[in-house]
Each structure stands twice: as structure tokens, then as C-alpha cells.
Amino acid sequence: MNSTIEKRIAAIRQMLVEKELDALMVSIQENRYYLSGFTGEDTQFDESAGVLIISDRHLVLATDSRYELQAQSQAPGFDVVCYPKGLEKELPEIAASLGIRRLGVESVRISQKNYTAYADALAKMNPKVALTPTENMVESLRQIKSEEEIQRTVAALRLAENAFARTIDALRPGMTEKQVAWSMEKTMREAGAQGLSFPVIVASGPNSALPHAVPTDRRLAPGEPILIDWGARVDEYCSDTTRTVVMGPPDDHFLKVYDTVVEARDLAIAAIRAGAGGTGIDKVARDHISRNGFAGKFGHSLGHGTGLAVHERPRLSPIKNDRLEAGMIVTVEPGIYIPGWGGIRMENQIVVRPDGAQVLNDPAPFTPRIRV
């Protein structure tokens, strides 16, 4: 087991003491990888590649036989146990063999059905064990990135930015949103991305007014916003960036919206430092947008953490005030969405540092104008 994983497990064991738990059962895919190196994927919401069970003295990786060899090779230091008839049948015995009485489970991932089934199986076979729902134990570690995790994120971002540059060079009126999205994806995959952070969003003209647009067969035309939101996964870490461009000369309205969004983004970034509250940062961008005549046109939160998952803690949100700490990676992505006309969003990824924000994106000046 490498020293990074050893430190993370030590931190979880400290939390076990504080929360008066004997062990934590880790079922969230990203948390499993973070604490073991095991990359098995939960291919559907109702499927699982396994769980870690971390107690003060033991490390167990319980999985089914399809993942046994992979688990053994990727997670040295863990005892790999198989559950041929499902975890429910084996859990009472695993808990008994480890001497566990108070077992934490991850309440955002475990289904109501499985929670009940595990509790019933324990009540019947090993009634000394009590399940305790937990939240945010591993995630509270994951949200603070090491320099190595930051470098992996930058690698994903550079690969994604290169794909954008190549795709934009080839952009022509008449191409469809779907064609552009596929060009982005193909370029990232062929450059070595292990996958996408999420399906590429390409939204043009009025479609760009939908913050969650799915690419359509609509054809790009000069003068209208073309919003592209995309990310690559490299070495398990996610990038996430948005750029809005225009073919040919933009009109004054486009430029007014565009400049307001870029200013809002950069004002928010300038306000970020360790110790700041996410709600205050969100307000910096939101107020700038309102002051410029676009009150009510920025309907979503300002940003979110990225890492092994593309959406993770913390949030920069008007509702929940997460406190920023050094080493967090967050997106800053204000937008202005005008029904019928379109929308402009500009998103950077930054690292929170003690005295400010370090922007991870390519520092070269960016212009939305594409010659066609």
C-alpha cells in the first residue's frame, strides 16, 4: 500500500474514533478508489463492484468473483473477500470476523432497500451489529487536493483544452451541435482521455439559453452564441470548462452579455481565498450580473468542486455556504441565459490557495470570435 493511501486510511480511522464507530463500509465508487486504488466501476445505479470495510485494525475489500483478481492486484493491504450470493449474505459473518459492533454506511449511496436488507440480515445472524448512516466522511478528505491530484486535474484540463482548440479551428456554419460535440469527444478520446467528465454540451442560438442543453441537429449560424461545456478524465481526475464563441462578428448585445459574464467570473475568482464562504463568492458574480441589467438571468449556482467526480464538494452556491479551504479545486461558471436569444457561460477551474485563487486554465488570452 502506498503512503498516500496509508495517510487517507489513518485519517478515516481517526474519524471512526471521533464518531464512535468500529468500522466504515465504503460503497461510493470514487471513495473506494481513493482509499484503496481499486478501479472497479458500478456500471448501473443498482450494481456494485464492491465495498471497503475499514476498521481500526482491518482492511477488507468485499466484491464478487468477477472483480477478485483486479481487487487483489490493485488494492494490496486489503483482504479481498468474495460474496457469491450478494453482500447481504456475507455481511454478518464479515462483521463478526472483524469484531465490529457499530458499522457506518454511506447514506447517500446505500439504497433504502439494501439498508433494510443489511439491517435485517444483521438482526437475524449477528444482532450485536448496528448500522449507522454517515455522510461526507471520505468526501471531506477528497475535497482537499494534494499537489499530485492538482497535477492530474491540470493534465485532464490541458488535454481538454487542446481538443477544444482543434475543434474550434474546424468550426463552420452549417455544422450541427451533435457533430461538434462528437468532434470534441473523439479528439479527447484519441488524445488519451480515459473518458469524458460528462457528455459534451454544445448549444447554439436559442438552445444555449438552456443551462442543461443536450446537443441537437440544429445547425450553427454566424452571429449567435455557441456554448461548449466539456471535460476529460485523465488518470481518474476530471476537468470541467465552458467557453462560448461566435462565428463572424458578434453584435453589441452579444458583447455586452459576454463581457458581463467574463467580468463576473473574474471578479468572483479575485475574491476567492482560503477562509472565504462559497455564498459570498457566488454573490460577487451574481451582483455584477444584476447590476448590468441581467437580474434573474443567472439561474444556477456559481460553481462546484471537481476531482474524482466532476461534481463534488464544495459548492459555490447562494443557498449553502461551504467554507473554502486551501487545496480545494472548484469551477467558477457564471452565465446569463435569455430565453429566445441564447446564453453565455464562461467557466474556469481554480485551486483555492491561502491568499487567492490559482486559475488552472490555459493563461493565454481568450477571444470568443471565430473567423469563418
The only residue of 2, 124, 147, 212 in contact with its own copies, by rule CB under 8 A: 212
Cell 475489500: give the residue: 61
The only residue of 2, 3, 112, 367 in contact with its own copies, by rule CB under 8 A: 112
The only residue of 3, 10, 20, 113 in contact with its own copies, by rule CB under 8 A: 113
Q: At what angle do helices 112-125 and 87-98 cross, to 10 degrees?
A: 50
All three cell numbers of 369, joined, read 470570435
Q: How far is the CB of 55 from its own copies (least distance, A)?
A: 21
Query: If we measure between CA atoms, which residue out of 149, 151, 148 comes closest to residue 30?
Result: 149
Q: How far is the CB of 71 from its own copies (least distance, A)?
A: 11
The only residue of 4, 107, 146, 358 in contact with its own copies, by rule CB under 8 A: 107
Q: How far is the CB of 179 from its own copies (least distance, A)?
A: 10
> Who's near 186: CB < 8 A, 6+ residues apart?
none
Query: If we measure between CA atoms, which residue out of 367, 342, 102, 92 comes closest to residue 226?
Result: 342
Q: Which amino acid is at 191?
A: A
Q: Which is nearer to its own copies, 7 or 66 (CB)?
A: 66
**Residue 259 C-beta-side C-alpha neighbours within 13 Å:** 9
The only residue of 58, 311, 353, 369 in contact with its own copies, by rule CB under 8 A: 311
- Regarding 70 and contact with its own copies (CB under 8 A), the answer is yes
The only residue of 2, 3, 44, 367 in contact with its own copies, by rule CB under 8 A: 44
The only residue of 1, 69, 170, 270 in contact with its own copies, by rule CB under 8 A: 69
Query: If we measure between CA atoms, which residue out of 175, 163, 154 comes closest to residue 243?
Result: 163
The only residue of 7, 66, 128, 253 in contact with its own copies, by rule CB under 8 A: 66
Question: Tell me, what DSSP letter sits at residue 360?
Answer: -
Cell 463568492: give the residue: 281
Q: Which is nearer to its own copies, 318 or 356 (CB)?
A: 318
Question: CA 124, CA 91: separation in Å to the nearest integer?
Answer: 12
116-135: contacts with its own copies (CB under 8 A): 116, 133, 135
| Distances from the Cα of 167 to the Cα of 173, 179, 218, 243, 247, angstroms | 13, 10, 17, 12, 13
Q: Which stretch binds its own copies (CB under 8 A): 93-101, 149-157, 263-271, 308-316?
A: 308-316
Cell 467554507: give the residue: 323
Beta strands 303-305; 312-316: pairing state: antiparallel
Please tell me whether the peptide bond between 314 and the residue prior to it is cis, using omega within 30 degrees of 0: yes
Beta strands 59-63; 79-82: pairing state: parallel
Q: At what angle do helices 29-36 and 3-18 cross, to 10 degrees?
A: 120
Q: Which is nearer to its own copies, 198 or 341 (CB)?
A: 198
x/- site string to its own copies, residues 220 to 249, per CB under 8 A?
------------------------------
The only residue of 45, 252, 364, 365 in contact with its own copies, by rule CB under 8 A: 45
Q: How far is the CB of 265 from its own copies (least distance, A)?
A: 19
170-209: contacts with its own copies (CB under 8 A): 182, 185-186, 189-190, 198
Residues that bind its own copies (CB under 8 A): 28-29, 39, 42-47, 65-67, 69-70, 85, 105, 107-113, 115-116, 133, 135, 182, 185-186, 189-190, 198, 210-212, 214, 299-300, 309-311, 319
